[in-house]
Amino acid sequence: MPRRAATGLAALWMLATVGITAAHAAPRTTAAPALRTAGAFMLEDIRIKVDGKWGLAWKSLYPAHKIVAPRSVYIQCEASTPWAAPVKSVKLVGVHRATFRVPGGGTVGGAAVVMRIAVKWHGERDPIVFTHVFHLVPVNGHWTWLLSPQRYALYRHDGCGNFPVA
């Protein structure tokens, strides 16, 4: 083997070794937050919405949904459509990995967060209690929430409480 080729091969081997060593020594980063954080994120997101802090809620909305529901439109729309009944309690039931369809998009992997929600109805004694599964999508290391298919359809058709006429 000519001397020049041997030198080049040795240099390539050293660069590869240094690169592999550096890659293993570098801190690990991930595009997805830990699954154990999804429940706390969803509880906080619901609290923000119950408190009517729509601008703050919009910040963690899935990026593609921000295009369909621009911040000013989202805030105005959500502020003008109050909750049907006061929220009495929200409890985390469970969290698991899931694959699901994003309204207006494709199928993605993320978290399914199961919540039990109680709303006041005709007094304190008889709340309506239901269980709902919320889907979260990881984006750049943090969770984002999705518009429901119905809300997505409203925003996509420039509506705010007005379904498009078929």
Q: What is the pTM of this model?
A: 0.76
Q: What is the pLDDT of residues 110-166, one digit of tens each?
A: 999 999 999 988 777 788 999 999 999 999 999 999 999 999 999 998 767 655 544
Q: What is the pLDDT of residues 74-99, one digit of tens each?
A: 999 999 887 778 899 999 999 999 99
Which strands form 128-139's sheet, in the order they lie side by side?
A: 87-101, 107-119, 128-139, 142-145
**Domains of the chain with bracketed CATH:** 31-156 (3.10.450.100)
- C-alpha 108/C-alpha 145 separation (Å) is 13
